[in-house]
Amino acid sequence: MLFFNIFLKSGLMKEIFKGKFITFEGPEGAGKTTQIQLAAKTIESYGVQCLLTREPGGTPLAEELRNIIKHYNGDEKISPETELLLIEAARSQHVKHKILPALAEGKCVLCDRFTDSTCAYQGGGRHMNMENIRILNEFAIAPLKINATILMKLDITEGFKRTQVRYGGKEVFDRFESQNLEFHQNVMDGFLQIAENEHDRVAVINAARSIEEIHTDIMEALYELLR
Ligand code: Z5A
């Protein structure tokens, strides 16, 4: 009986996760990369192949754009409009050349940041027009739709502390990390606003706990959002 139940559950989970597009969002250091890897392991145990990817980036060209978006340091400043268009250019390439083909093969695609990051960082952080961002997001990803999003909620100062540990205490900031606390608080508020408006798609997970506790909550939330 136990074996039969496990067999049934695994078959059900396979159906739930096959060909799904799942995004992970949140502030810096929230643990997205850590959790996306654990989620992939669990989903693969159901017999579904996973593709892990990230934004900005994910294809060779998009990764080149990522490098500019994160680290460009020339005298000519990148305007907020240019930053937004570079992110959307990388995204369009990523969706067409990597995400859509993988979904067509029935893989479960797990993406570290996606369109909600644009609303939160470029909209909330850089105060760019939300309607323009919405139109550009749609233009870059159509016909792709997100099936479920995990928003990892963490106090921004806690996130900074975690990334400092990763950098061994050295201050190596990219163009986003070097923004002030107000910028990062606006980003977090932007994420929470999205979750409030779209609770059928977005689950908010308290990321200030142990890695195992967070993983358990994420898998439960994904089951609820996708079933
Ligand atoms: N960006 C944008 O502006 N607009 C957009 O549309 C998109 C992106 C798509 C990408 O940065 C930047 O691009 C991002 C926004 C912008 N910049 N910021 N800030 P990235 O990809 O390089 O970095 P990130 O997305 O911010 O991720 P991160 O800093 O690497 O953090 P994370 O992936 O969420 O966390 P992690 O690497 O899994 O964990 C961080 C550390 O904490 C690490 O040492 C872990 O071992 C530790 N950790 C993880 N979980 C825990 C728990 N539960 N307890 C304690 N410690 C933990």
pLDDT digits (tens, 9 = 90+) for 64-81: 999 999 999 999 999 999
pLDDT digits (tens, 9 = 90+) for 111-166: 999 999 999 999 999 999 999 999 999 999 999 999 999 999 999 999 988 887 66
pLDDT of residue 3: 54
pLDDT of residue 130: 97
Query: Residue 128, SS3?
Result: coil
Average pLDDT over residues 7-28: 91
Ligand 1 center from residue 205 Cα (angstroms) = 15
As to burial, measured by CB atoms within 10 angstroms (0-12 exposed, 13-18 middle, 19+ buried), residue 142 is exposed
Task: Give percent of the chain with pLDDT exceeding 70.
Answer: 93
At 180, the pLDDT band (50, 70, 90 cuts) reads confident
pLDDT digits (tens, 9 = 90+) for 206-223: 999 999 999 999 999 999
Output the six-digit token pair for 149.
């999003």
Quick check: 171 pLDDT over 60? Answer: no
Query: Ligand 1 within 6 A of 85 CB?
Result: no
Average pLDDT over residues 42-46: 96
pLDDT of residue 165: 67
Q: For 209, which DSSP code? A: S
Ligand 1 center from residue 27 Cα (angstroms) = 7
Residues 24, 172 contacting (CB under 8 angstroms)? no
Q: Name 24's bridge partners.
A: 112, 150
Ligand 1 center from residue 25 Cα (angstroms) = 9
Quick check: 172 pLDDT over 70? Answer: no
List of domains in the chain = 14-226 (3.40.50.300)
Average pLDDT over residues 86-100: 98
Residues 41, 100 contacting (CB under 8 angstroms)? no
pLDDT of residue 5: 59
Q: How far apart are CA 40 and CA 49, in angstroms?
A: 8
Determine phi and psi for 123, rounding to 5 degrees: -80, -65
Query: Ligand 1 within 6 A of 124 CB?
Result: no
pLDDT of residue 174: 82
Among 24, 85, 121, which residue has the most ligand 1 atoms within 8 Å of its CB, making it the best to mutate? 121
Q: For 59, which DSSP code? A: S
Ligand 1 center from residue 174 Cα (angstroms) = 12
pLDDT of residue 1: 53
